[in-house]
Structure 1
Amino acid sequence: MMRLLASLLALAAMLWAPGAQAHKASDSYLNLTVEGARIEGRWDIALRDLELAVGLDADGDGALTWDEVRARHGAIAAYALTHLKLSAGGADCPLQVTQQLVDSHTDGAYTVLMLQGACAAPVETLAVGYTLLAELDPQHRGLLALRHGAATSSGILGPDNPRPQLQLAEPAGWRQFLEYAKQGVWHIWIGVDHILFLLSLLLPAVLLYRDRQWVGREGFRSAGMDVLRVVTAFTLAHSLTLTLAALGVLALPSRLVESAIAASVIVAALNNLRPLYQRGRVLFAFGFGLLHGFGFASVLADLGLPQGALLLSLVGFNLGVELGQLAIVAVFLPLAWRLRKGLFYRRVVMLGGSVAIALVAAIWLAERSLDLQLAPWSRAFA
């Protein structure tokens, strides 16, 4: 029980930690195209990460300017190329940075490194050595999309997969399916705003609101059915819009989607303080789940979908998201059920946790809707 309490307190501390990022943890996006022995690419790295690695804010005022970033172009390129090594047939494929640009992702500003390189012979298997931020952030990952002709391969680069060997022949459909399923699991686990929305809906599942107070349910079956209804509604909704957006049928502005997702987290959390729609939580999960699907689609757009196995890869990613979601439910529900009748769960976890979630989501909403960057290292260029 003490370990359980410690875990819950650690979760609360994480929610209150300053500068916590919504939607995803520290990622970079590496897109490589191989034609024969020639390699071209684009590497998007967050400026907040480069500030930690090489220092960008020369005057220390917390606001990055274009001049400050441009003055560090040499250091940025040197640091990046030191942490990315390509090889084929046992020989290195030297890379160089031909241009540096700036782009915006949903979590802030990124530098864009345009890459060129060549191997000694036409590439059949490409080895990718990736150690970016390994000395600073063990949770950092690189999201790789490798294109060769009509085929696209993807992978997650990091400490647990620092040097993958990628075959350039078009991978079998089942391998594409499994790879995108793994990507889906990873992205629901790092999608903090999606997780907090889901937890806000699940927290009252083991309780009933009677006489203006929360009390523990008596039957596990009723709690399980409530969770099943909420999760199913959320799953159906975001699966629908994820599919439509990934196929290019529907599209919404990124800022609108991300702002609405933050607002959904606030509403779901505040409803736990004084329920207004307890019986309508299923419809609420479905309605806001439609918006969350667009959020997942933006992640999938960064990864890219292989045209030769588009539908299979899309299904794999969607299934991975659901498996990651079910893993969260499988951990949450037994713990919540065991604690449901104690004051700790009802007051600290349920009410205190909901307040913490709402406050964090309010910061996200301000950042996203007003184009603010409340964390100094991610402020827009002056």
Structure 2
Amino acid sequence: MRRASSQLVPLLSFAWLALVATPATAHHDPLSRSEWRVHRADGAVGATIVITGQDATTLAGLRDAPLPPQGAAGGARDEAIRALIQDAVTRGVRVTSGGGECQARPLRVTVRRSYEVGITWRCPKALGPVVIDLSFLASLPAEHRHTFNIDLGDGQGAGGGTRRDALLSPEQHRFEWDFSPTPGAPPSPRAERPDRVDVELVPSSPAPAPSVAQTLWLGARHIAGGLDHLLFIVALVLLSGRARTLLVLVSVFTVAHSLTLAAGVLGWVRLNAAIVEPLIAASLVLAGVDVALRARSAGDTGRFQRHTPALVFGFGLVHGLGLAGGLAELGLDGGALAMGLFGYNVGIELAQVAIAVPLFVLCQRISERRDYAVIVLRPASWVIGLCGVLWTVERVVS
């Protein structure tokens, strides 16, 4: 009875934590961006605002919106979604000049890997102190970050005007700049016009790429925020009776997921998230079985070493496709893609090391107990496998 209770308590505790801590939904990285350009002569401000599908769904309330059914004639459903997203973003951005309200004029919504919303504002008079308030960020999760880039339209920068960058968040979502004429400088050609100026689309250059530090943070957060990835790392630690074994398994996993991460981000491999996410969850089922095999061998590593590296490599290929989604949503290309991929992958590896090393040290100390397999390996194998089964079913159904 005592042995049974010693297994039941950790099993129930770990299972409760695993099931309530994080929903078993697909991974999402909280990052958006925007590119702004100012036309001083016209008193106009143009922007392209890029948000991911999940953020757009939250912002526009798409889950509760009365949308046309899937496959509706003429792409009615897609048009309705675009209209809701455009309206939500337009209402969620306020531009003022000299204290006067600038009127928004929505232009387009382009769907690529993310939603790109184009808007221009016409201001009531020549630009003075301008405040751009992206208030829609306040409705997104606290960890969300928004990379903001603006061309000030002064003709002083390479290929355009002086550029300014800012990293905004749900708590800090305003950008301010004083465009008032410098004393003694000649007025711009249309600075004296008192009437509103209606303008066409201000062409915008590609949205700004996040820095290496930002993509590094994004990769680390992707691991920390994904309970399925965390549980898989836990499984790797539990399968490793020695530091050398852990090094081999983590290296195999890293090589595998790095390959498919790069292939997914570069567009060489495209697999729908509806397939990838259930496969990631299913990998936990097999990982749980492998931990159970080690528990049966009472810590003897000889049996599992023959097949585990190959199994981990296969799992790594699947996990890499899931990890690729977070960076692919940003739509980077060229040098920005290379640097983003580097930072993102480094962030993932640092997060994995930060989790695996302390846990391995702790397990090594506990493994000195004769009942280590009973109180740790066996309950953990059940938790990992059970979570894998539940999440596989949930992701297939959803």
Which stretch shifts more, 189-198 or 314-323? Answer: 189-198
Q: Which amino acid aligns with 1:354?
A: S
Aligned pairs, how many? Answer: 329
- Cα drift, residue 235 of structure 1: 0.7
Q: Which amino acid aligns with 1:242?
A: L
Distance 1:49 1:312 in 2: 29
Aligned match of 1:252: 271
- Cα drift, residue 349 of structure 1: 3.6
Q: 1:281 to 1:203 in 2, by over 3 A?
A: same
Does residue 359 (structure 1) correspond to residue 386 (structure 2)? The answer is yes
- Cα drift, residue 201 of structure 1: 1.8
Distance 1:97 1:34 in 2: 14
- Cα drift, residue 280 of structure 1: 2.5
Distance 2:267 2:58 in 1: 31
Tell me which of 254, 275, 282 is aligned to 2:309. Answer: 282
Aligned match of 1:229: 248
Tell me which of 290, 304, 309 is aligned to 1:271. Answer: 290
Tell me which of 202, 205, 227 is aligned to 1:192. Answer: 227
For the 8 Å contact 1:87–1:126, the answer to whether it is kept is yes
Matches within 5 A, 1:43-54: 43=51, 44-45=53-54
Aligned match of 1:311: 338
Q: 1:177 to 1:351 in 2, by over 3 A?
A: same
Q: Deviations over 1:293-349 (max 9, x none)?
A: 111111111123253433222211111111111111133122222222347853344
Q: 1:329 to 1:88 in 2, by over 3 A?
A: farther
For the 8 Å contact 1:93–1:118, the answer to whether it is kept is yes
For the 8 Å contact 2:34–2:207, the answer to whether it is kept is no
Aligned match of 2:36: 34
Aligned match of 1:157: 169
Which stretch shifts more, 276-285 or 180-189? Answer: 276-285
Does residue 178 (structure 1) correspond to residue 197 (structure 2)? The answer is no
Distance 1:321 1:41 in 2: 27
Q: Secondary structure at the match of 1:39?
A: strand
Does residue 238 (structure 1) correspond to residue 257 (structure 2)? The answer is yes
Which stretch shifts more, 321-330 or 355-364? Answer: 355-364
For the 8 Å contact 1:40–1:116, the answer to whether it is kept is yes
Q: 1:7 to 1:182 in 2, by over 3 A?
A: farther
Distance 1:154 1:295 in 2: 29
Q: Which amino acid aligns with 1:21?
A: A
Q: Which amino acid aligns with 1:66?
A: L
Does residue 301 (structure 1) correspond to residue 304 (structure 2)? The answer is no
Distance 1:88 1:361 in 2: 54
Distance 1:254 1:262 in 2: 12
Q: Deviations over 1:90-146 (max 9, x none)?
A: 9987767789999999xxxxxx79563437559999775565347xx65x5356586
For the 8 Å contact 2:285–2:384, the answer to whether it is kept is yes
Q: Of Structure 1 and Structure 2, which has the larger fraction of its residues in strand? A: 1
Q: Secondary structure at the match of 1:338?
A: helix
Q: 1:48 to 1:34 in 2, by over 3 A?
A: closer
Tell me which of 358, 366, 373 is aligned to 1:346. Answer: 373
For the 8 Å contact 1:32–1:145, the answer to whether it is kept is yes
Backbone CA RMSD of aligned residues: 5.1
Q: TM-score if structure 1 supplies the norm length?
A: 0.65
Higher Cα Rg, which structure = 2
Q: Deviations over 1:234-281 (max 9, x none)?
A: 111111121122222232333222222111111111221125744332
For the 8 Å contact 1:87–1:93, the answer to whether it is kept is yes
Distance 1:343 1:99 in 2: 66
Q: 1:203 to 1:132 in 2, by over 3 A?
A: farther
Distance 2:246 2:132 in 1: 45
Distance 1:256 1:90 in 2: 51
Q: Which amino acid aligns with 1:336?
A: C
Q: Secondary structure at the match of 1:34?
A: strand
Q: 1:86 to 1:65 in 2, by over 3 A?
A: same
Aligned match of 2:154: none
- Cα drift, residue 22 of structure 1: 4.0
- Cα drift, residue 28 of structure 1: 5.3
Aligned match of 1:336: 363
Identity %: 25
Distance 2:226 2:48 in 1: 30
For the 8 Å contact 2:216–2:347, the answer to whether it is kept is yes
Aligned match of 1:210: none
Q: Which amino acid aligns with 1:231?
A: V
Distance 1:324 1:89 in 2: 46
Distance 2:107 2:391 in 1: 35
Q: Which amino acid aligns with 2:47?
A: I
Does residue 262 (structure 1) correspond to residue 281 (structure 2)? The answer is yes
For the 8 Å contact 2:228–2:280, the answer to whether it is kept is yes
